[in-house]
Amino acid sequence: MDKTSYIQISRSSYKRNFHYLRKIIGEKTRFTSVIKGNAYGHGIENMIEIAGEAGVNHFAVFSADEAYRAHIATPVNADIMVMGYLDDSQLSWAIENGIEFYVFDKGRLLKALEFAKAIGKPARIHLEIETGFHRTGFEIDKLDEIVALILKNAEFLCFEGLCTHYAGAENIANHFRVMNQYMVYSQAVKYFEQKGLRPRFLHTAGSAASLTYPETIMDMVRIGIAQYGFWPSPETLIHRFKKHAAADSDLKRLISWKSSVMAVKEVEAGDFVGYGTSFMANKKMRIAVIPVGYSNGFSRSLSNTGRVLIRGHRVSVIGTVTMNTMTVNVTDIPSVEPGDEVVLIGKQKRLSISIASFC
């Protein structure tokens, strides 16, 4: 340990989550691992490696900066899809490098076509349909022109996907809206079929829709939060528990944050611990100092209230969290010594601390 604390990401938990999700989406549906937002904090490069080992070969990001990183980290047989922003030079880079991207307005389609012709390589496009999310996407009644462009320029436009995004599939209150979106999307699919255009992948579902609405699964799903071991919402979890055996409804967190005990000492009744007077020992106590403070992200607001795990016990933070250290009460675990593992987030023996403890 060359740092005072470190983050661990569990490959075995990822594999479990992946297999759990694979069972739900079926063998034939393509699994896109969504790694936007620095892979939800897990690190783009880490996740590409770990998901790649589990068999994932398609990754979705939001923007070009993430796509650059993913492009460097992915093996040659993996594909990258940009779901959000690209400026002109990034668009041209994407085409050059075979990166797939969303197209949600005519301007972008024309630009993509122009660059594809100039470069001499087809643009790999996913057409996004506006179905009721009201963020980006083509209105269904304005598709004639788009279809004509694609048919006329088949050589330069590779129609990878037809997609949309649901406005809150993790919340039952949105059920009607989600179903409406599904219907509008289905109309768009029919419309393309009538025109003789079939994309390689029909895709609409993120984690919540995949877990809640089986009909939204189609040719490909875009899985973000669930692969990292989080349920999109308590409702999504309950929905699965109600329909399936509890043992089947298991997602495991990947991340843990660990440190180790730096020093152990005794204090007498009446001694104040740490800065100021926020904690006074009311009896003889053993305390352990941990080299993690608010500069490492352990919030100062957890002074006198936070918990960490040592030797399989949950112990309390006492006194104020300082810039580089905090102190915990280990009076009831006499065996604690310097070097012992400290879990700030994650599991130790049978106990665990989740990120939710920090909110």
Ligand X SMILES: *Cc1c(COP(=O)(O)O)cnc(C)c1O
**Nearest-approach distance from CB 239 to ligand X, in angstroms:** 15
Which residues share a beta bridge with 307? Answer: 316
Contact region for ligand X (CB under 6 A) — 72-80, 112-120, 217-225, 304-312? 217-225
CB of 319 to ligand X, least distance (A): 38
Span interacting with ligand X, options 186-194, 203-211, 303-311, 350-358, rule CB under 6 A: 203-211
**Taking the CB of residue 253, how many other CB atoms lie within 10 A of it?**
18
Sequential DSSP letters for 280-349: B-SS-EEEEEES--GGGT--GGGTTT-EEEETTEEEEEES---SS-EEEE-TT-TT--TT-EEEEEEEET
225 binds ligand X (CB under 6 A): yes
| Strand 285-290 to 58-61 pairing | unpaired
Tell me the Cα Rg of the chain. Answer: 25
- Choose between 225 and 273: whose C-beta lies nearer to ligand X: 225
Identity of the residue, 209 or 292, whose beta carbon is nearer to ligand X in the bound complex: 209
Print the binding letters for residues 234-273 with ligand X: x by CB under 6 A, - otherwise.
----------------------------------------
129 near ligand X, rule: CB under 6 A: no
Does 211 bind ligand X (CB under 6 A)? Our answer is: no
83: Cα within 13 Å, side-chain hemisphere = 23
Which one, 188 or 302, has the nearer CB to ligand X?
A: 188
Distance CA 222, CA 210 (A): 9
User: What mask of x and - would describe binding to ligand X in positions 156 to 195, judged by CB under 6 A?
Assistant: ---------x------------------------------
Closest residue to ligand X using C-beta atoms: 224
Cβ at position 315, least distance to ligand X in Å: 33
Q: Is 293 in the site for ligand X (CB under 6 A)?
A: no
Would you give the distance in Å from CA 311 to the centre of its chain? 30
CA dist 311 and 340 (Å) reads: 7
Q: Is 315 in the site for ligand X (CB under 6 A)?
A: no
Q: What is the DSSP string of 219-255?
A: SEEEE-GGGGT--S-HHHHHHHHHHS-GGG------E
71 near 65, Cβ under 8 Å? no
User: 232 vs 293, which CB is nearer to ligand X?
Assistant: 232
Q: Which residue has the tokens 């994650």?
A: 346
Backbone angles phi, psi at 64, to 5 degrees: -65, -40
Quote the CA–CA distance of 257 and 3 in Å, as a whole number.
12
Helix (H) or strand (E) holding 76: none
Give me the least distance between CB of 207 and ligand X, in Å please. 3
Q: Does 34 bind ligand X (CB under 6 A)?
A: yes
Question: From the list 223, 251, 315, 345, which residue makes contact with ligand X (rule: CB under 6 A)?
Answer: 223
User: For ligand X, which residue of 13, 17, 207, 348 counts as binding (CB under 6 A)?
Assistant: 207
Q: Does 224 participate in binding ligand X (rule CB under 6 A)?
A: yes
How many residues sit close enough to ligand X to count as binding (CB under 6 A)? 13
Could you tell me the end-to-end alpha-carbon distance of the chain, in angstroms, rounded to an integer?
Answer: 27
Q: Which residues bind ligand X (CB under 6 A)?
A: 34, 36, 83, 165, 206-208, 222-226, 232
